[in-house]
Amino acid sequence: MKSKQSAGVVVFNDEQELLLQIRAFRDDTYPGHWDFSAAGGMKPHENHKEAALRELQEELGIKNEIYYLTHISYTDKDVQKQLFLYKTAHNGPFSIDKNEIERVEFFGKHKIQKMIDAKEKFHPEFLLIWEKQILFPSS
């Protein structure tokens, strides 16, 4: 079985809102879907923290300290996938990579849940993390 590792970062602002991105409409996987603030595959020489820092810089144009949040493993179409997720705080502005991202926007927990309930398109990995209820403190 093939395996694939990726790393991502969730960015929160001072209002405890989560920055989501809409993936580029021309992306080859999940175009036009809401996704983590920044995420992508790991390069062979990288560890997951290095990959997360690189994705933050490449996709949002920021350098910031990041903190480990969680790790998930799952199987998708005969591929064993692993996602390492980090978090950071930043209010912007962001310099987004238009080749990978259509736009970014901050949302509160309840607004994101309403978007999910309304069947807006979200990346499956985001939904896996969302279901674990670890992105926002209990409220």
Annotated domain spans of the chain: 2-131
How many helical (H) and strand (E) elements, i.e. helices and strands, does the chain have?
Answer: 3, 7
Predicted confidence at residue 138, as pLDDT, reads 65
Give the HSE-up count for residue 124: Cα atoms under 13 Å, Cβ half-sphere: 10
Assess contact for 106 and 14: CB atoms under 8 A.
no
DSSP 42: P
Least confident of 1-5, 60-64, 129-133: 1-5
Confidence of residue 3 (pLDDT cuts 50, 70, 90): confident
- Whether the per-residue pLDDT at 139 is higher than 60: the answer is no
Q: How far apart are CA 34 and CA 115, in angstroms?
A: 10
Q: Are 40 and 24 in contact (CB under 8 A)?
A: no
76 φ, ψ (degrees, to nearest 5) = -135, 115
CATH architecture of 2-131: Alpha-Beta Complex (3.90)
pLDDT band at 1 (very low <50, low <70, confident <90, very high): confident
The string of pLDDT tens digits covering residues 23-39 is 999 999 899 999 999 99
